[in-house]
Amino acid sequence: MSELNTPQPDTTSVTTNTRPALLALDWGTSSLRAFLLDATGQVLDTRASAHGIQNLPQPGEAGFRQAFADIASGWLDAHPGLPAVAGGMVGSAQGWREAPYVSCPADLQTLAAHAAQVDTGRPGTTLLIAPGLIHRPVGAAPDVLRGEEIQIAGALAHHPEWSAHACMVLPGTHSKWVEVRGGSVQRFVTHMTGELFAALARHTILGRLFPEAPASAAEARQGFELGVAAARKAGPGDLGHQLFAVRTLGLTKQLPPGALPEYLSGLLIGHELVSGIGRLGGTGTATPLLLIGDPKLCQRYVQALTLLNRPPAAVLDNTAPAGLLDFARAAGLLRATPEESPT
């Protein structure tokens, strides 16, 4: 998002007649996004800044306070007493106030009960920060997420029918596969797919044959589909071998250079899907598979899932505003039921 390159807030106003009810922050490592919401979850106004927790205007507590003031003061001046909530890395050990990981299973009530509160420096305004989640499977390493719990709550707010049972996939640097059952996150699995792609493309021999210019659509499709097809045939431990094909298919000119990064992408996403479906996807189509995240990245996952005969039930863009609203509701900061539903 280009507006994140500058620390100056970028304001987009939406004309509305409804009354602001919540100031909601999606505060990550490299960016800060703010939403002014009414009691039904309608976004009245949004702002974005580059003041992620690793890019504050000054170090420490003062940096957090200033970043908060920069993005929120205008709204708070106009609407005194507005409650404020946040999710994301702002609640990590490197954040403003740590909201330690809460064990699964966890629902919105669990998140609200373990939220951390921080004095924003503005009299009368405290910020309630959602905790992340930890899953401790028997006989395996623990897994953690932070920020995605809000996206999941938002997806369930938009689609309550998925509360009973769904598998939510949030693609990214660290993709998350999340099993929801009975309205709670039961368990989840991280795949380092995005970070693997970046490290392999930039810092191994595999990127050497990658072209400067992007591939044609046909080349990109060919490479991606072949990568997914290879992943589908993978046995345990095969990734370290299959990766080498990115080089040999280029060396032997079986794939044009433009198709090679796409092959790598298809191979890595394919591996994630094969593993994720095996672990959390359930059998057949009984478990709805939902994608949440950046539309362009989600499109790759739709393409790969379709090749694996497991097309997703839905693709959702950013669900953080709805999730933050329900988190605030669960914490008692808003009335449980809105007076009117304008949508």
195 is an interface residue for its own copies by CB under 8 A: yes
- CA dist 62 and 67 (Å) reads 9
Burial of 14 (0-12, 13-18, 19+ CB in 10 A): exposed
Q: Which of 143, 179, 262, 326 binds its own copies (CB under 8 A)?
A: 143
Burial (Cβ within 10 Å: 0-12, 13-18, ≥19) of residue 81: exposed
Identify which of 302, 335, 290, 336 has the alpha carbon closest to the alpha carbon of residue 156: 290
Number of residues located near its own copies, criterion CB under 8 A: 52
Min dist. Cβ of residue 157 to its own copies (A): 28
> Which tokens in the block code for residue 198?
């970046």
Locus of tokens 């919401």: 37
Residues 94, 241, 295, 299: which binds its own copies (CB under 8 A)?
241
One of 79, 122, 174, 221 touching its own copies (CB under 8 A): 174
- Is the CB of 141 or the CB of 336 nearer to its own copies? 141
Binding of its own copies by 18 (CB under 8 A): no
Is residue 136 within 8 A of residue 150, CB to CB? The reply is: no
Structure tokens at 158: 């938009």
If one asks whether residue 251 binds its own copies (CB under 8 A), the answer comes out as yes
Question: Rounded CA gap, 301 and 16, in Å?
Answer: 36
| Contact region with its own copies (CB under 8 A), list: 19-27, 152-160, 199-207, 293-301 | 199-207
Task: Specify whether the CB–CB gap between 40 and 340 falls below 8 A.
Answer: yes
CA angle 253, 258, 263 (to 5 degrees): 80
Segment interacting with its own copies (CB under 8 A) among 58-66, 179-187, 212-220, 271-279:
271-279
Selected range binding its own copies among 16-24, 83-91, 151-159, 263-271, rule: CB under 8 A? 263-271
Q: Which stretch binds its own copies (CB under 8 A): 9-17, 116-124, 149-157, 244-252?
A: 244-252
Question: Does 216 participate in binding its own copies (rule CB under 8 A)?
Answer: no
- Report how far residue 62's alpha carbon sits from residue 64's, in angstroms, rounded to the nearest whole number: 5
What is the per-residue DSSP string for 99-122?
---EESSB-HHHHHHT-EEEE-SS
Q: Which is nearer to its own copies, 9 or 276 (CB)?
A: 276
User: Can you tell me which of 6, 94, 164, 238 binds its own copies, judged by CB under 8 A?
Assistant: 238
**Rounded alpha-carbon distances, angstroms, from residue 117 to 127, 130, 269:** 6, 9, 38
Q: Is 335 in the site for its own copies (CB under 8 A)?
A: no
Verify binding: residue 88, its own copies, rule CB under 8 A.
Answer: no
Nearer to its own copies, 312 or 321 (CB): 312
Residues that bind its own copies (CB under 8 A): 134, 139-144, 174, 189-193, 195-196, 198-200, 202-205, 230-231, 233-245, 248-249, 251-252, 254, 268, 270-276, 278-279
